[in-house]
Amino acid sequence: MDTKKEANQNQLILMKATVKKQMASTLKKVGRGVHLVGFLVFPLFNFAQSKNERVTNLSGQWVSENVHSIKLNTDELKDLEFLKNEVGNKRIVAIGEQTHNDGATFQLRGKMIEYLIEEMGFEVILFEAGMFDLHYANESVKRSMQIDSLRNGILWFWKNANQHDHLFAYLQQQLQKGKELEFGGFDCKLTSSYGRKNGHYANMLKALVKTLDSQFFSSADFVSYLHVWDRIDADMKKGGLGSFSFKMNAREQADFLKQSQFIQQWLLNKGQLEWAQMVNTIDKGIVLYADFSIGKALFNKEWLLNLNNGRDSLMAENLQYQLATKYANKKVILFGATYHFARNIQTITPSKVRGLRLDKSVTTGGILHPMFHNEIYTIGFTAHEGTYGYVKKGGKGKSVKKASSKSLSYQLVNQKYDAAFVPLKNISADSQYWSNGAIIRFLDYKTDTAAPDWSAVMDAVVYIKTMTPITY
C-alpha cells in the first residue's frame, strides 16, 4: 500500500474508532445494556406540572436584550442580519424541525438557508436523507445544472412541500450564476427512488469497481456480494419506497457484513474513501432494518430504542467523515429533525415517552458535539398554536395543543412576537425563569419538555407563534 492509500485508510479507521469511543462514552452516561440500531418515531409526551407550582415569567429586559424578531411570509433577508453575530465563525449550522409536518418551519428555515449562503458564505447542505441518494443527486445536479435532481433525492415530505418552492428556486438561481454548491446526505438508509429503484447503488458500485480493477470485478468475493444485492434490489422493487427491510437471519447478516468489510477495505486501498463510507453505512443500514416491522416499532419500545440509537450512531459516523474529511474546509448546513441534532437528550424530562427511554437515547448531535463543539451551532424550532400535517392546498391539518404558561412560546406570545430567534447562550442572565422548569416543546406538539440547562441541548431555538401544515 502506498503512503497516500495508507493515510486514507488510517484516517477512516481513526474516524470510526472516534465515533465508537464517543458512542461508548454516551452510553456509559445514560446506562448500560443499550444495543445500537435506529429508526426515529417522534416521541409524544404527557408531562403534567403541579397546579401549585409557581410560574416565573421571562423578564422583558432579557427578551429585549436577547430575542430577535423575525418576519414571516416575506422573502426579505434583512431581518436575519443577527445571524452574523449569533452564529459568528461557526462553520457548521444544524437547522432542525419540530416534526416532519411543519409548513411554517419549512418556509422560515428555507429563508435562513438563503441568508447563510447569500450573506455568510455557506456552500454545502447535508440532508437527513440517504448518503447514496444524495451522492447520486449531487452528481446529477452537476451534470444537468438542474436543482430538481436534488429535490428528487430528498425525503418525500420535503420534496413535495410547496413551502420549499422558494428555496429550490433560489438554489437554481445560484447554480445558474455559477455558485459552487454541494449537496449530500447523512442517513444510513436508501431513502428515495435514486437509491431504492432500478439497482442504482449496485450498478454504480459495479461501474466503479470495473473501472478500477476488472480482475477484482470478476472475483468470487465481489460476485458473491453482488448476489446479495440482487436479492435486496428485488425485495425493494417489490415493496416500493414504503419497504423498510430486507429480511436476513443472523447468519446471513454476519456473512453479509463480512463481505461488506472486505469490499470496504478494497475501496480504501484504492483511495475511495467516500465509496468505502457509503458501502459501510448502507450495508449496516440493511442489517439494521433486517428485523423491522411496524408492529415492533409501535409496541416493542426497547427494540425501537435500539433501532433509534443505531441509526443515529451511523448518521454521526457519516457526518464525521463528511465534516472532517470531504468538506473539512467548507461551511456546512445540516438539514433534518431537531431530535437528531440535539445533544444531552438524556437530560430532558420526562425521561420516558410511551415506554421509550430518552434517558437511554443516543443522538447524532450528542456524538458529534464533543468532536466539533467549537465549530457547530444547533438551532431547534418551537410553535405555540396553529395546525400541522401534510395536506393538499386548503387542507386544515391537525391542531397544535397550546403550550403551557411555563413555555417559552407562551412567554413570547405575551410579549407580542409572531416569530423570533432565541439564542440560549445567555440564559443565566434570567436564571429565575430558565431554572424554574422552563419548557420548550421541540420534539412534537403535545410534549411539555423541560431541561436543567437548555443551552446544553441546543444553541438557539426559533419560535413561531402560529404553525401551518405542509401543503402539496
pLDDT at residue 214, rounded to an integer:
96
Q: Which residues contact 262 (CB under 8 A, 6 or more apart)?
A: 221, 225
Q: List per-residue pLDDT tens for the chain, 472 residues long.
A: 555 555 556 556 656 665 566 655 555 554 433 333 333 333 333 333 444 455 689 999 999 999 999 999 888 999 999 999 999 999 999 999 999 999 999 999 999 999 999 999 999 999 999 999 999 999 999 999 999 999 999 999 999 999 999 999 999 999 999 999 999 999 999 999 999 988 999 999 999 999 999 999 999 999 999 999 999 999 888 876 566 668 899 999 999 999 999 999 999 999 999 999 999 999 999 999 998 888 888 888 899 999 999 999 999 999 999 999 999 999 999 999 999 999 999 999 998 766 778 999 999 999 999 999 999 999 999 999 999 999 998 899 999 998 899 999 999 999 999 999 999 999 999 999 999 889 999 999 988 999 999 999 999 999 999 999 999 9
Per residue, what are the HEC states of the chain?
Answer: CCHHHHHHHHHHHHHHHHHHHHHHHHHHHHCCCCCCCCCCCCCCCCCCCCCCCCCCCCCHHHHHHHCEECCCCCCCCHHHCHHHHHHCCCCEEEECCCCCCCHHHHHHHHHHHHHHHHHHCCCEEEEEEEHHHHHHHHHHHHHHCCCHHHHCCCCHHHHCCHHHHHHHHHHHHHHHCCCCCEEEEEECCCCCHHHHCCCHHHHHHHHHHHHHCHHHHCCHHHHHHHHHHHHHHHHHHHHHHHCCCCCCCHHHHHHHHHHHHHHHHHHHHCCCHHHHHHHHHHHHHHHHCCCCCHHHHHHCHHHHHHHHHHHHHHHHHHHHHHHHHHCCCCCEEEECCHHHHCCCHHHCECCEECCEEHHHCCCHHHHHHHHHCCCEEEEEEEEEEEEECEECCCCCCEECCCCCCCEHHHHHHHCCCCEEEEECCCHHHHHHHHCCCCECCCCCCCCCCECCCHHHCCCEEEEEEEECCEEC
pLDDT at residue 247, rounded to an integer:
87
pLDDT at residue 236, rounded to an integer:
87
pLDDT at residue 53, rounded to an integer:
52
Q: Which domains does the chain have, with CATH numbers?
A: 3-47+58-189+293-471 (3.40.1660.10), 192-270+279-288 (no CATH)
pTM of the model: 0.90
pLDDT at residue 11, rounded to an integer:
59
